[in-house]
Amino acid sequence: MSIIVTGHDFNLQTAHTSYLMGVLENGEMGQYYYGPRLGDKVNYADFRHREFRSVTPTLTEAQADVTMSMIKQEYPSYGHGDFRYPAYQVTYDNGARISEFEYQDYEIEDGKSKLGDLPSASAAADDQHVQTLHVHLLEKQSGLQLTLNYSVFEDEDMIVRSATFANTGTTDLKLNAALSASLDLSDDQYDMVQLSGAWARERHLYRRPLTRGVQAISSTRNASSAQQSPFLALARKQTTEQAGDVYGFNLEYSGNFLAQVEVDSYNVTRVTMGINPFEFGWQLKPRTRFQTPEVMMTFANNGFNGMSHNFHRFLTNHLISQRWVKKPRPVLINNWEATYFDFNEQKLLDIAKSAKSLGIELFVLDDGWFGKRNDDHTSLGDWQVNLAKLPNGLSGLANKVHDLGLQFGLWFEPEMISKESKLYIKHPEWTIHVPDRRMTPARNQFVLDFSRQEVVDYLFDQIAAAIRETHLDYIKWDMNRHITEMFSLALPAEQQEELPHRYILGVYQLYERLTSAFPNVLFESCSSGGGRFDAGMLYYAPQTWTSDDTDAIERLKIQWGTSMIYPLSTMGAHVSAVPNHQDRRVTSLATRADVAYFGVLGYELDISKMAPAEKATVVEQIKFYKQYRELFQQGTFIRLQSPYDGDGNVTSWMVVSGDQTTAIAGRYQVLAEPNPGYRRLKFAGLNPDLQYTIEGVDGQFSGQQLMSAGIFIPALFDERADNKMHTFDFDAKLYVIKAV
């Protein structure tokens, strides 16, 4: 069993971890332990030792040896002597903000149910490796019920946490903060690992030692954002990719978030994660409830790769749509960098015909097909075809693309509106803005109020009509700006702080309705590239456009960081034109593909104008990718040499099949080096007892040799060779490894 209850103590066990907690003297829940598995029999008494400090408040006069500031807590409150940041705060009808929850009972559910209107993990009731614990607490004076939810995924070493507030009383309450999870760890000897960046350099990896006080990452953009990812890890100082202890935390949410670590004066480390309390407030009327989004928690003692594999397996098995998660993703061509807004039907068909001849499977028409959209100033919200560009309509183009034997996809930006649009003229009140205050444009556009049901209904009707008309196969859902002037004309004053969360719920509702009505349409989420790459989006859209930056060298850092949480099947990765449109770097067609293979491969350039030799190269690239598509999209991804270590000049990674008989490794060197030292590349994830061959390398090797000793990597530049006209910068090399 995954969950063992002994009196008022709880033992949540996965294959390799234990999570222990129990009821405290005041009726709240205490946190005992999270780490390597301890087994079924635990001495709980040892975890309940109390330390007294005379300078701190005690629980009660009768319990003068119990001080909350010295106790690790499961879902901490504020106001009874613990001065660390709490997991929640409630304002009661008399203005008080002090809660007194007491444990009532618990229930255990086999499997894992869906979480209301939020994206959530799931498992069937007959899944013997998943159980869910609900711990019920009650604030007796107000009738506010708090349920702490824990789903234990044994095989994935994952615990999924959330909290549910239900007002069973008779007075109105207000939630000022409602985080999803809190965890107190016994010491502070950790490095904090985060994924941060900006547009075109998303999810770069940063690692820093914890220090006394608060360190946090957050978003106030009403998107998970390119600036910060809703993820953090705590790793021991010596932890590497292959070895060492690490805790990972990831939030299944796409809006404002807070991920915070607080180290107190006794070196206890408190991790809290959930909806950002800034710009949050929720009116909790009698007989209503509030559900927090889920946090994924995992522990691994085999390094960052071990943590990542737990996340990858969990997302694959329990969060991403099972309809799509293991279905081969098509190789696509997107017209954006080939044409931008300047296209007509014939130009698009020329690209589509070339795509078919190269082996591409999906043609995607990006921005510019609707309204009067000839630049980025107009027409968002007017999702009717621009007949000046496409005189035969969307169906005319789609039919011709389908007749070529290609799938057809469309770009939408449903959440946005242009002032120069029919929709804005008809419904200016649908735009998020503050009356009598200036509006701040971004990319010449504004944001629709997704807290309004009529907005969600309108967009569903518009997008559904386009899907039906074109027999659409794929949608790229973009979001190119964040929300400013946060205000809804549809909400009363006391509910304005609810808008950020209500907006996200509206986005989720539209996704839910579209994916349910059109289950055969593949969705790819996008937000100016990877600005909303999070688990909440992946619940509806099984792949995400990883970054607008398609430069192969920059993608090494982006895809490395993204892989800390997300599997390769979720990462859109394209071969684009050079000089690259984001940083003007020139790399070879081979290098661009050798990076893009490790994701969902696509192309984003005018293939109709490529030279014959380049087309022949693309044909071979696509053949290679299709040959190993299952391996690239479903294999075990292992990071080997980090672009964040040392000078970052070499990056290497690999993907291994489930049976360990096939693997492909990539080694990437940014700049050539004069007179370099002797180098070897060590692999990982192979079977030590099998013999392997490597394409282009003589001889056979045991898996043990390849992992322990590796293979010799010759210098890129040989001064004896006549190669004066060849550059060795931006070099990529793939190693195809097969068991004999």
Q: Is the pLDDT of residue 66 over 80?
A: no
pLDDT attached to residue 590? 97
pLDDT attached to residue 255? 98
d(CA 535, CA 163): 18
pLDDT attached to residue 234? 98
Mean pLDDT, the chain, integer? 96
Confidence of residue 725 (pLDDT cuts 50, 70, 90): low
Q: Determine the CATH number of domain 3-314.
A: 2.70.98.60
Q: Is the pLDDT of residue 572 over 90?
A: yes
Share of the chain above pLDDT 90, in %: 92
Confidence of residue 334 (pLDDT cuts 50, 70, 90): very high
Other C-beta atoms lying within 10 Å of the C-beta of residue 641: 18
pLDDT attached to residue 49? 80
Average pLDDT, stretch 624-645? 98
CATH 3.20.20.70 placement within the chain? 332-633
CATH 2.60.40.1180 placement within the chain? 639-739
Average pLDDT, stretch 538-545? 98
pLDDT attached to residue 156? 98
Share of the chain above pLDDT 70, in %: 97
pLDDT attached to residue 60? 65
Average pLDDT, stretch 285-291? 97
Q: Is the pLDDT of residue 721 over 80?
A: no
pLDDT attached to residue 80? 87
User: Regarding the domain with residue range 639-739, which homologous superfamily does it belong to in the CATH classification?
Assistant: Golgi alpha-mannosidase II (2.60.40.1180)
Measured at the CA of 618, the angle between CA 616 and CA 623, to 5 degrees, comes to 100
Q: Is the pLDDT of residue 453 over 90?
A: yes
pLDDT attached to residue 265? 92
- Encode pLDDT of 170-199 as tens digits: 999 999 999 999 999 999 999 999 999 999
CA R_g for the chain: 27
pLDDT attached to residue 61? 64
Share in percent of the chain as helix, strand, coil (round to 5) = 20, 30, 45
Looking only at the bridges linking them, the beta strands covering 571-576 and 543-545 are: parallel
Interacting residues of 23 by C-beta distance below 8 A, sequence separation 6+? 8, 9, 29, 30, 103
Q: Is the pLDDT of residue 240 over 80?
A: yes
pLDDT attached to residue 179? 98
Average pLDDT, stretch 269-292? 98
Tokens 């180290």 belong to: 263
Burial class (CB in 10 A: 0-12, 13-18, 19+), 342: exposed
Cis geometry, peptide bond prior to residue 674 (ω within 30 degrees of 0):
no
* Sign of the alpha-carbon torsion through 340, 346, 351, 356: positive
- Encode pLDDT of 684-708 as tens digits: 999 999 999 999 999 999 999 999 9
* Sign of the alpha-carbon torsion through 502, 507, 512, 513: positive
> Measured in Å, how far apart are the chain's first and last C-alpha atoms?
40
pLDDT attached to residue 727? 78
Question: What is the reported pTM?
Answer: 0.97
Average pLDDT, stretch 98-121? 96
The residues annotated with a catalytic role in the active site are 478, 548
pLDDT attached to residue 65? 67
Average pLDDT, stretch 93-102? 96
Tokens 């500031």 belong to: 69
Q: Is the pLDDT of residue 58 over 90?
A: no
Segments in 299-436 forming alpha helices (H): 303-318, 336-339, 345-358, 393-403, 422-426
CATH 2.70.98.60 placement within the chain? 3-314
Average pLDDT, stretch 4-31? 96
pLDDT attached to residue 63? 65
pLDDT attached to residue 684? 98
pLDDT attached to residue 64? 62
Question: Is 3.20.20.70 the CATH number for 332-633?
Answer: yes
Segments in 41-188 forming alpha helices (H): none
DSSP run (H or E) holding 88: strand 88-91
